[in-house]
Amino acid sequence: MSAAPDTPVAVRQPRRAVIEQAWRAIGAGVEVLSADDGGPLSRTVKRIIDPLVLRLRSNTRYSAPFVTADVAAEIHDAIVGHADTLRATARWFDTLKRERRRQRITTGNAQELYFPLCFELAVTKGAPSDEDLAGAGVLLRDIHSDRDRMAIEVLNRHIGDDAVVAALTAQLARSWRDVRAGNEITGPFLAGLGTVLGSVDGHNAAVARQRVWSALVADATPYNLGAAAHSAGAELPWSIVDLGLSSAAPQQCPTIAGGEGDRPLDRSVVDRVRATLRRALARDELPDVPLLCAEEVDRVCSPWGLLGEDKQATLIAGIEIAVDLAPLDETAQARHDLSRHIQARLRKEAYVLHARRYLAGDAPIHPRQQLIVDELAAFCRPYLNRLWARLHGRDVWQEPCSDVDDVRELLEGVSRSVSLDHRQRIKAMLEAQDLS
């Protein structure tokens, strides 16, 4: 019997790699929208390429983590076809960012807030003219006018009603009681993270890693671990207090308002809603404040303070990374490829090297610098604090953590963000010393 002819198999390419290749084909003129390696910034993809260039809501075939050659070619043509508009977008963003610095505006993330507007201006006006440069201040005033004040006032009026607070308090008690850990074993989930956080070699290994992550997101372990943290005597792989996620173990039921906790799992419902409103860039897409508060009550009671199973799983992956990170200890060995990569980059940071030299000598350390040294010594705390905040934002906006490469990029990006914060604080301290 003769063998049947081989069935042709469509070769799929990682969507992210297709976008990066097309972005690099644009060439010069988009540097302010690009990362150090020449690819697009994550926010460029999120705020410009996906919604405005590729228009994922209409072109759902572009949204798969891996795409066929035909779809890859369409994505490439769509991005390169917008080259002139994207260059003009970059010029608009540079213009608004310069004006933002001149006006000393600090509210809102400039990329999140301005990227869509800059693309719209590029489409309607092209590159900014001299007249547009002069009017940049008016644009910024329109963007930021009453942006935070009105939403916060609505929240304050809502929670100023005793009947509202009583209803939310009753909902809180019910939701907290409803969260119970199951009996499933945790070993397979934690073992699977070894694949997710490990290295891959080749397309088949990358596909396998995505398959493992999809299975882990559907696993009950992240929910069970977070639910167990509510109960006294529960055995967890880590201490939620040592991780900096909570000020007490077991985790205490948060309050509707008030409270003094500054750890992610200690914060009140109102504090979390207020943070959402301050970070929100498209507030019209958020629920009304009453519904937002009700949703946050359910979220604050959920395991790890997150409703989405993919966000809960991502936080566990982040914990596994965080407990590996010890920038000041050159002998500490990381267990995962991703944490080894992050660890190596952290240890090369100039301020980390400087801190190690300080600790090795007898010279006194400036009190402000001591705070940073303390955070380096327990790096998991600032790392997980920032990761939780980002996952909370994704949870509110229902942005997925289903793509394993996106998750790995998020876990690595959080460490860069913490390092940038440390550098900026050291710079501010040095500038204050120079002025004194």
CA distance to 226, 248, 383, 387, per residue, from 245 (Å) = 11, 9, 10, 11
Q: Compute φ and ψ for 38, nearest 5 degrees.
A: 95, -10
**Which pLDDT score, from 0 to 100, does residue 111 have?**
87
Residues near 277 by Cβ (< 8 Å), separated by ≥ 6? Answer: 148, 151, 152, 155, 283, 286, 292
Three-state secondary structure string covering 109-135: CHHHHHHHHHHHHHHHHCCCCHHHHHC
Predicted TM-score of the model (pTM): 0.67
Best CA proximity match to 132, nearest among 102, 88, 101 = 88
Best CA proximity match to 347, nearest among 415, 409, 429 = 415
**Which pLDDT score, from 0 to 100, does residue 4 have?**
44
Q: Which two tokens stand for residue 300?
A: 């604050």
List the chain domain ranges: 9-145, 150-435
Q: Which two tokens stand for residue 336?
A: 């995962």
Measured CA to CA, the distance from residue 166 to residue 184 in angstroms comes to: 36
CA distance to 41, 229, 402, per residue, from 72 (Å) = 19, 44, 20
**Which pLDDT score, from 0 to 100, does residue 424 have?**
79
CB burial of 99-131 (b: ≥16 within 10 Å; e: otherwise) equals: bbeeeebeebeebebbbbbbbebbeeeebbeee
Measured CA to CA, the distance from residue 394 to residue 398 in angstroms comes to: 6
Measured CA to CA, the distance from residue 27 to residue 83 in angstroms comes to: 9
Q: pLDDT of the chain along its 436 residues, tens only?
A: 444 444 444 578 888 999 999 999 999 999 999 988 899 998 999 899 999 999 887 788 898 888 899 999 999 999 999 999 999 999 999 999 888 888 777 666 788 888 988 998 999 889 998 877 777 888 887 777 645 555 778 898 999 999 999 999 999 999 999 999 998 999 999 999 999 999 988 888 899 999 999 999 999 999 999 999 999 988 899 999 999 999 999 999 999 998 767 899 999 999 999 988 877 655 666 788 898 999 999 999 999 999 999 999 999 999 999 999 999 988 899 999 999 999 999 999 888 888 887 777 666 666 767 888 888 899 999 999 999 999 999 999 889 999 999 999 999 999 999 998 888 777 776 665 554 4
**Which pLDDT score, from 0 to 100, does residue 40 have?**
94
